[in-house]
Structure formats: C-alpha cells, structure tokens
Structure 1
C-alpha cells in the first residue's frame, strides 16, 4: 500500500475503534468522540477534557444534526486539522 492508502486505512481503523461502543458502529456518540479526541488527538486538542469544548466540537462536526458524528463528518475534522498543521509547519519553516 502507498503512504496515502495507509493513511486512509488508519483513519478508517481509528474511527471504527471508537464508533459503536454505545450503539451504532457507523457513528460516534459524544462520549465516543470525546474518547477519540483524548486518545488520538490529545496533543493537538488539549481541551478534550473540557466538557464545553467537547460539546462545541461535537455540535460543529454534527453537520446533519442527527446527534452523532458519522465518518464523513469525522474525516472533515481530520482534513481541517491537517490543513491547519500544514499551514503551521509551512509558516514555521519560513522563519
């Protein structure tokens, strides 16, 4: 597999690791999202322990307002974070 294919497989695997612990294995509940944020993105999102911050993240990710985060909504978050990291590292390299 190419590096991009490996990254895609890891995203699917990471989502699946947390989805369905509380029901539907195709979506993340708020508690499942919080656990994912803490365990997988804790370094980037240091406020994953802050209930209000998790609530805001969950609400902003839940684009279709079905009170869960599906894979597409999850990937949108990862994509946005990746773009932000890319911009940060690109700007840092210029200094």
Structure 2
C-alpha cells in the first residue's frame, strides 16, 4: 500500500473508531462527532469545547437532517480540514 493509500485508509478507520453504536457503525451522532473533533482535530478546529460550534458543524454536515452523519456527509469537513492544513504548511 502506498503512503497516500495508507493515510486514506486511516481516515476511514478513524471515522469507524468513533461510530461505535451497535447497528449504526457507519454513522456518527452529534456526540460521536464531538468526540472525534475534540480528539482528532483540536489544533485545526478552534473552540472544539464550545457546544455551539459543534452544533453548527453538525447542522452543516447533516444534509439529510436525519440526526446522523454518514461518511459521505463528513467529506466536506475533511476537505475543509485538508485545505486548512495545506494553507498552514505554506505559512510555516
């Protein structure tokens, strides 16, 4: 496996690590998303402990408004984080 393929698989594995409910292993609740953001993205997303920030992120991602975030729905967040990291690397 290439380095990029390994990193992509790692992103999928992290998503699954936080989607732990029985029968819903491929979606995140607001609480699961909050845990993932607080533990995995604390240096990129500011105010991760602020519930209003988490609520806004969840609302923006939950495009079908079913109260869960699928892997497809989390992709815009991942793209945004990649763009932020890319920008930061050019500032260093």
TM-score, structure 2 normalization: 0.89
Q: Please report the RMSD computed on the Cα atoms of aligned residues, expressed in angstroms.
A: 1.6
Unaligned runs of 5+ residues in structure 1 are none
Q: Is the CA contact 1:34–1:54 (under 8 Å) kept in the aligned structure 2? A: yes
Aligned position for 1:11? 11
Deviation at 1:20, TM superposition (A): 2.8
TM-score, structure 1 normalization: 0.86
Q: How many residues align?
A: 92
Separation in 2, partners of 1:84, 1:70: 22
**Structure of greater relative contact order (alpha carbons < 8 Å, 6+ residues apart):** 2
Separation in 2, partners of 1:7, 1:66: 29
Aligned position for 1:60? 60
Separation in 2, partners of 1:6, 1:21: 25
Shifted more, 37-46 versus 27-36: the winner is 37-46
- 1:1-95 alignment, distance < 5 Å: 1-21=1-21, 24-90=24-90, 92=91
Unaligned runs of 5+ residues in structure 2 are none
